């Protein structure tokens, strides 16, 4: 089974790009982040036309996540359990997590993550990011107790190590490279999750994001912030990982590229 994660930066603004990539890469499952629309405005029919079942957790203007699957989906969860303790955005939960069980002959659970960016550092947004990491940590621990194959994949909005940036010095003041953000990601991994990039032996410089500004793509000023974190039962089935760098050169590209893993069927 091939499972993709991709922050598309608005599914409607980029629909032809998204459809073209899905058609060519043909993943069995695709986790999309930053769909930037409510459920009613998600281009459901176009994606069903490619053979996908669709589950969304949308939001007006910002955020929003979706899971597409050629296999049936069940046990769908929208939003992480737990209360946001930071007080930020207390009036409305942000749509940043959707999870489903992929009903293949050998099932896999998939959690689709759009972690808060957290900039600027020192504001309630940064506190919200760290609180969200705590909630994800608690949920990952609960999932691990089930001893099932799963991937928690998506935009983690963290640069885990200096090797994950072309120019780490440029990121020292950024929420993505703060010690607290890096520690939260590290703690999550230390629950016993495997980074698919590491399992697949991806070399340093396998970036997944290049800013639209300042010629970041042309200069390869990228960062690696999109990950598949695998449970032990999924890691046992791991076969390969591919980062689709070419997608950054498509017409009307997202600023992120897809990362696709293959698990043994």
Mark the binding-site residues, compressed into ranges: 7, 34, 155, 157, 255-256
Q: In whole angstroms, what is the distance from residue 233 CA to residue 212 CA?
A: 37
Taking contact as CB under 7 A, which single stretch among the options 73-81, 117-125, 133-141, 142-150 is the one that binds DNA?
117-125
61 binding DNA? (CB under 7 A):
yes
Burial class (CB in 10 A: 0-12, 13-18, 19+), 168: middle
Among residues 44, 70, 78, 125, the one that binds DNA under rule CB under 7 A: 125
Of 227, 215, 113, 211, the residue nearest 159 (C-alpha): 227
Among residues 13, 46, 183, 250, the one that binds DNA under rule CB under 7 A: 13
Among residues 1, 6, 14, 261, the one that binds DNA under rule CB under 7 A: 14
Q: In whole angstroms, what is the distance from residue 5 CA to residue 13 CA?
A: 18
Catalytic status, residue 114: yes
| Per-residue interface string for the shown chain with DNA, residues 197-236, x marking contact by CB under 7 A | -------------xxxxxxx--x-xxx-------------
Q: 223 near 197, Cβ under 8 Å?
A: no
Q: Please, which of residues 76-115 interact with DNA by CB under 7 A? A: none
171 binding DNA? (CB under 7 A):
yes
Q: Which residue is catalytic, options 114, 128, 133, 156?
A: 114
CA distances from 137 to 34, 57, 80, 131, 169 (A): 21, 20, 10, 10, 28
Number of residues that bind DNA (CB under 7 A): 30
Give the distance from CA 115 to its chain's centroid.
8
12 binding DNA? (CB under 7 A):
yes
Helix (H, G, I), strand (E, B) or coil at 169: helix
Name the residues annotated as catalytic.
114, 155, 256
């Amino acid at each position: 089974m091939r499972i993709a994660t991709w922050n598309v930066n608005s599914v409607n603004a980029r629909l032809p790009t998204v459809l073209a990539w899905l058609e060519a890469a043909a993943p069995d499952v695709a986790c999309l982040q930053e769909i930037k629309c409510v459920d009613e405005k998600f281009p459901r029919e176009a994606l069903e036309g490619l053979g996908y079942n669709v589950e969304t957790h949308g939001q007006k203007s910002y955020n929003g996540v979706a899971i597409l699957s050629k296999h049936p989906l069940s046990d769908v969860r929208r939003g992480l359990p737990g209360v946001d303790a930071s007080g930020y955005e207390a009036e409305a939960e942000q749509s940043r997590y959707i999870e489903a069980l992929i009903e293949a002959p050998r099932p896999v659970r998939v959690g689709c993550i759009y972690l808060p960016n957290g900039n600027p550092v020192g504001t309630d947004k940064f506190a919200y990011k760290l609180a969200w990491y705590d909630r994800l940590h608690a949920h990952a621990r609960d999932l691990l107790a089930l001893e099932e194959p799963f991937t928690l994949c998506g935009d983690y909005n963290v640069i885990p190590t200096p090797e994950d940036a072309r120019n780490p010095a440029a990121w020292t003041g950024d929420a993505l490279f703060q010690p607290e953000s890096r520690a939260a990601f590290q703690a999550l991994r230390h629950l016993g999750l495997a980074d698919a990039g590491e399992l697949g032996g991806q070399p340093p410089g396998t970036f997944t994001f290049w800013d639209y500004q300042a010629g970041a793509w042309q200069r390869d000023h990228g960062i690696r912030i999109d990950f598949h974190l695998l449970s032990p039962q999924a890691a046992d089935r791991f076969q390969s990982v591919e980062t689709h760098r070419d997608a950054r050169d498509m017409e009307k590209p997202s600023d992120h590229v897809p990362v696709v893993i293959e698990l043994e069927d």
